[in-house]
Amino acid sequence: MRARDATPDSAPARAPANTLIPNDVELTIQVDTAALLAGDANARREALAELQGVLAPYRGAGCRAGVVLTFGHAPEVGVGVGLADVVNTLLEEEYPALFQGAVFDALANLGGPAGQVDVRIFFFAGCAPAEAGEPPPTIAPTG
């Protein structure tokens, strides 16, 4: 069948590649807030290891983030925003294939365990795991 002979019902509709999937994917990690904010190399490695685990289903799966809302849990707004900002920087620097060109926002959450970071990602169309609604992996708090 030639392209001009195709009917609207002959192929499934596909969203343009620049369309965001309307449902976000929420990933949760647990970090050492004070050490990560102080620039501790070990805390950075541990945060990257947790990110590696929760991002695994989206790497190499045609996924590209459009909007990222990151919530740092802390007893003070400034600490929570700072924590979220550090995690956003890690995402941009360490996972450019997923996050290049994404819009980030760093926010605080005054509830929940301190050091928890929730990353809400709105992926562009074409991200099979996000479109399938697969539950994302969660790293449980330790200690």
As a three-state string, the secondary structure of the chain is CCHHHCCCCCCCCCCCCCCECCCCEEEEEECCHHHHHCCCHHHHHHHHHHHHHHHHHHCCCCCCEEEEEEEEECCCHHHHHHHHHHHHHHHHHHCHHHHCCCEEEEEEECCCCCCEEEEEEEEECCCHHHHHCCCCCECCCCC
Least confident stretch, 6-10, 115-119, 124-128, 131-135: 6-10
Mean pLDDT of 48-65: 94
Query: Within 13 A of 77's CA, how many CA atoms are on the CB side?
Result: 0
Q: Give the Cα separation of 125 and 136 in Å (integer).
A: 17
Residue 8: pLDDT over 50? no
- What pLDDT, on the 0 to 100 scale, is given for residue 1? 38
Task: Encode pLDDT of 88-130 as tens digits.
Answer: 999 999 999 999 999 999 999 999 899 999 999 999 999 988 8
pTM of the predicted protein model: 0.81
Positive or negative: CA dihedral 44, 47, 53, 57: negative
Longest dimension (CA), the chain: 63
Mean pLDDT of 35-52: 98
- What pLDDT, on the 0 to 100 scale, is given for residue 60? 87
- What pLDDT, on the 0 to 100 scale, is given for residue 15? 52
Mean pLDDT of 49-57: 96
